[in-house]
Structure 1
């Protein structure tokens, strides 16, 4: 900002000139004192320059509605929506999300720095305020078969980008705990650049909370209980209450929030599919859940706005006050979070659930490496045979619906080759390396999907994003994996060796080059096909499947090398 701009704003604030816009007849939420204010909101250059009585070149009549700060999603992976940043913005702006802090580690695990650059460039084409945290763990663990490796030196230049706020979720707790050299460089580079550092403390002990705080880590979004939340708060962390498409932790963690500590909590979605974003929204949904569960509405809206802004040093976001950006929501019902208008920097962006801003023509021109990311030789059913000792029990991954964590159970072996048993719900799971055609496949057994026939497969498998498949027979598993290579990545359902439906995701095997609405419609068709293979669960099987390859969330996961014990942090045998 130059002196001329500041003079203009000061003149408007002092009423020596008209404001650009004034909003009249609204009840303004004061998230600081937690009370309502009756005043005009005066806006110049997209910034609030006064509360009181003002004149403006334009007047907006709020007609008695409540006006609250725009929502902030404190931690989200845009790639999990399966659409580009431009389409993601179109999905969340009508739901009142005006700012997000995103970690592009999904696409970075496939394409490294080229993936990060693509996301930043796309983000600049949307009115949504998109800030970035740089991926700290690419790959998530040293043994992972990701498509890229990002060292501290690879990240350092990105700190020059104004959208970059810091280092994203530090999930390699072994490297942190042992003080491994490159991890120390990543932590110090962020700290010396004056940036924030996000945590990822899934299932870790209090001792590791101490270690993470000593390493400058500021927050954690992997909290699942009241006790974990309070432990992190007393050690100086912020805690995010997460409600995504799989991990739904708000109600479990909410009892930790009280009037004394509420400023240390805020909301995030982490991973949410575009169909869920379009249908129920984002942070607005969490605010509504929290109020319904008994949280004071002022605190709920504060968790949805101001607190995230304070955590990340966004000193012009999260409140309605002079000097803050005019990112505003008009609300007709505070408890139901009924949003009638979304404004970003004083401009009306969405009204009554629809975007109204002038959309730029999207020009997706990703690097070719992003469009040719599925590399593997054709596979057949023999590639998925699992020889076993009939005298030993089999280790089985037991999924927990709507949670990222899993349990390790055992089942007796029936013969010398494992055969899926739909009566016991024991299915085959495979993780196939797809970045460098290494012909490396991890095979295991999983319980909880309830399929009666066919197979599912996807190139979305956190965080290295190899192909992950689950099925009732080897023929369909092989057909599903081959189908993903043919379409360049995505999600597919197969039965009888034939595709029932697929959702192509040609950009890094993670993102569609189509609109959010198109992806939403295709996902609905995909989910309709699930009944044809016997799925009746009350969870999203593709999302659940995609997290079974993440070897930093307990207890037991799958990699291209086989079963992985997260707590012991080592691979283990199938029997």
Structure 2
């Protein structure tokens, strides 16, 4: 994506037809997202750049490769406008194998989970990995790390001084996922990141679930350009009327497209031009079974959006929202040659993918071998924490026997946790979890060797009847999170992760039931997407056998440390009231036996 005088001269000459194209695509029907037209047109590509559309007969030379697109529609490469690829548990290489054949050629990401476990050194290794893949990543520098409030523990703290440096990097295209609470609380690290963005003319990406009225106005006055977090279409309408670009999210656990697209289909069709798509957090299983951004195009069409409009949402709208439309988002001269061959705009099945001017995928598979890089110690998965014992997961109080009134964090969907007051038994100074009342223990353990923090609280909604499950992949800080009905099983689950360098595990009756190793930073794997999908299925089945009926038990669990989600969370510093932005004591009252 870098330009210099030498390659600019070559591109100009190629655009003028003075030197032959590297590749031409013939006999296709162009979906022109710039003019909202669909018509017959050929495309000429020089190396990785589109140089002509229309009649390209004058651009063909003896060495020019030809791609026959007869019966196919030519569509720009799709853009995921906000994604934590790490939450898929796929490394960048494996993630590219999964989504590029679906037509996703660009993503916008903060790569923040990698930063939280390996800092800038690990991030630079990920950049090198990206450069070797067919997937482009438009990186936004995280507004800060950790995102949690109060501040939890991560391996690297991203602050305003770091922003002063990294915003100068060529990889940086903005400030990533600026959470409303930090703006509203006038956090100086966050405001410092925004200050640098203004100096560098970089856009500020937002994260403002349920922001309305005066809170929204204050947030917008900080200069935030777009948002991917709206819980209903009225929220979308208000944000768009106030000038925001809206990124509609349809993740593996938050299915918001059907509701949010109503802003376009029922309120104002003119909103469509500033609506784009993202998947945010997606599992390998969902990508394999449903597709990626291509699936969102099909879902939007099913909700009544015109096919051309849905394609614009997945391409040029996203590029314009993130100010990357000079590079991607359309099939037009001067843009990177990311082009899809699809069956039709209405059904939108991707048959072939051209990325950076090269045919890289056909029939839902990459057409060449893509290998992950050799991993250095920087992205190792060593968990730097001490082994646990059963007592680490027993909630002890100053009451030998009696009852405790506790606040349990009750999950209502993946991104809402509400207060649930429950009476639990106290035996031998320990507050006992109660599977009959669906109350489990949950803990987060700091795993970077910085302070040894351990938290302990109560949660509801998972319905485990026994056992435990744990994960070292847990945004936003990727400390170890463990949940269970039995303290001994919780300890076994955590110790198994420590011994094996991270992953996800389900335990019952003192035995490991299922385990997925995540050797890349303790958060991702270089396994093939199909293998990760298979392991995800086994983990979910194991949790289901313990009584959990949630659609994604481990993903619901590993979202618990995110303090931007109302109303409760838990990090290594303790359970958090996400409204008051402070830790709380889950023991509300102790009553001695009479």
Could you say whether these structures have the same fold, taking a TM-score greater than 0.5 normalized by the shorter chain as the test? yes
CA contact (8 A) 1:190 1:197 kept: yes
Partner residue of 2:465?
A: 452
Bigger drift between 219-228 and 527-536 goes to: 527-536
Aligned to 2:35: 33
1:338 is the counterpart of 2:354? no
| Residue 152 in structure 1 maps to residue 164 in structure 2 | no
State the Cα RMSD in Å: 2.1
On the 8 A contact 1:377/1:437 being kept in 2, the answer is no
Answer yes or no: is 1:523 the counterpart of 2:533: no
Q: Which residue of 2 aligns with 1:143?
A: 151
Deviates more, 1:16-25 or 1:211-220: 16-25
Query: Is 1:354 equivalent to 2:356 in the alignment?
Result: no
Match of 1:297 in 2: 307
Contact 2:115–2:122 (CA<8 Å) still a contact in 1?
Answer: yes
Distance 1:46 1:371, change over 3 A: closer
Q: Name 2:580's counterpart in structure 1.
A: 568
What's the TM-score once normalised by structure 1's chain length?
0.94
> Secondary structure of 1:442's partner?
coil
What is the deviation of 1:515? 3.5
Q: How does 1:83-98 map to 2 (within 5 A)?
A: 83-98=90-105
- Residues 42-51 or 455-464, more deviating: 42-51
Q: Say if 2:101 and 2:362, in contact at 8 Å, map to a contact too.
A: yes
Change (3 A) 1:445 1:3: closer
The equivalent of 1:318 in structure 2 is: 329
SS of equivalent residue, structure 1 residue 493: strand
Equivalent pair of 2:99/2:292 in contact (CA under 8 Å): yes
Q: Check if 1:107 corresponds to 2:114.
A: yes
How far apart in 2 are the matches of 1:152 and 1:440? Answer: 25
Q: Is the 8 A contact 1:203 1:553 kept in 2?
A: no
The 1:11/1:551 distance shift into structure 2, 3 A limit, reads: closer
Task: Return the offset for 1:490.
Answer: 0.9
Does the Cα contact within 8 Å between 1:18 and 1:54 map onto a contact in 2? Answer: no
Q: Deviations for 1:509-539, whole angstroms, at most 9, x for unmatched residues?
A: 11224343433333333233234323333x1
Deviation at 1:174, TM superposition (A): 4.2
TM-superposition CA deviations, 1:341-399 (whole Å, max 9, x none)? 0011321110011101453x432333x25325412222111111124675553211111
Please, which of 465, 474, 496 is the counterpart of residue 483 of structure 1?
496
CA deviation after TM superposition for structure 1 residue 333, in Å: 3.5
Deviation for aligned residue 1:93? 0.6
Deviation at 1:248, TM superposition (A): 2.1
- Compute the displacement of 1:70 (Å): 0.8
Q: Deviations over 1:138-167 (max 9, x none)?
A: 111343122221222123322233221011
Give the corresponding residue for 2:518: 505
TM superposition shift of 1:541: 0.6
1:386 to 366, 373, 395: 395
Q: How far has the Cα of 1:292 moved from its partner?
A: 1.0
Count of aligned pairs: 570
Matched, 1:429 2:442: yes
Range 36-45 or range 301-310, more displaced: 36-45
TM-score scaled by length of structure 2: 0.91
Question: Deviation digits for residues 535-560 of structure 1, max 9, x if unmatched?
Answer: 333x1011000111111211111122
**Counterpart check, 1:559 vs 2:568:** no
Aligned to 1:409: 420
Q: What SS does the corresponding residue of 1:348 show, helix, strand or coil?
A: strand
In the TM superposition, residue 7 of structure 1 has moved relative to its aligned partner by 5.0
User: How far, CA to CA, are the matches of 1:123 and 1:261 in structure 2?
Assistant: 33
Local SS of the residue matching 1:349: strand
| Cα deviation code 1:478-498 (max 9, x no counterpart) | 111111111111100101112
Query: Alignment partner for residue 172 of structure 2, among 150, 164, 169?
Result: 164
Using the alignment, how far apart are the partners of 1:60 and 1:462 within structure 2? 42
Query: How far apart are the structure 2 equivalents of 1:198 and 1:570?
Result: 25
C-alpha displacement of 1:283: 0.7
> 454-463 vs 378-387, which deviates more?
378-387
Question: Is the 1:458–1:467 contact (alpha carbons within 8 Å) kept by the matching residues of 2?
Answer: yes
Q: Is 15-24 or 57-66 further displaced after alignment?
A: 15-24
Choose 437-446 or 122-131, whichever is displaced more. Answer: 437-446
2:93·2:526 contact (CA, 8 Å) conserved in 1?
no
Question: How far, CA to CA, are the matches of 1:561 and 1:54 in structure 2?
Answer: 62
Deviations 1:80-135 (A, max 9, x none): 12122122111111000011111111122222222322221211111211221112
What is the DSSP-based 3-state SS (H/G/I as helix, E as strand, rest coil) of the residue aligned with 2:506? strand
- C-alpha contact (below 8 Å) 2:540/2:553 kept by paired residues: no
Cα contact 2:139–2:173 (8 A) shared by 1: yes
Listed one character per residue, the Cα deviations across residues 396-417 of structure 1 (whole Å, up to 9, x for unaligned) are 111123x312111212233353
- Structure 1: how far apart are the matches of 2:193 and 2:367? 41
Kindly indicate whether the alpha-carbon contact (under 8 Å) linking 2:404 and 2:425 is maintained by their aligned counterparts in 1. no
Note the alpha carbon deviations across 1:427-456, whole angstroms, 9 max, x for none: 221112222264432222211112222111
**Aligned CA distance change for structure 1 residues 8 and 441 (closer, same or farther; 3 Å):** closer
Instruction: Report the Cα distance in structure 1 between the residues aligned to 2:201 and 2:217, rounded to whole angstroms.
Output: 21
Match of 1:540 in 2: 552
Task: Name the SS for the 1:278 alignment partner.
Answer: helix
Query: What is the deviation of 1:30?
Result: 1.6
The equivalent position to 1:216 in structure 2, one of 223, 228, 243, is 223
Which residue in the other structure is 1:19 paired with?
A: 21
| Equivalent-residue separation in structure 1 for 2:569 and 2:4 (angstroms) | 53
User: Shift in Å at residue 15 of structure 1?
Assistant: 4.5
Q: CA deviation at 1:507?
A: 2.3
Report how far residue 316 of structure 1 moved. 2.6
**3-state SS of paired residue (2:343):** strand
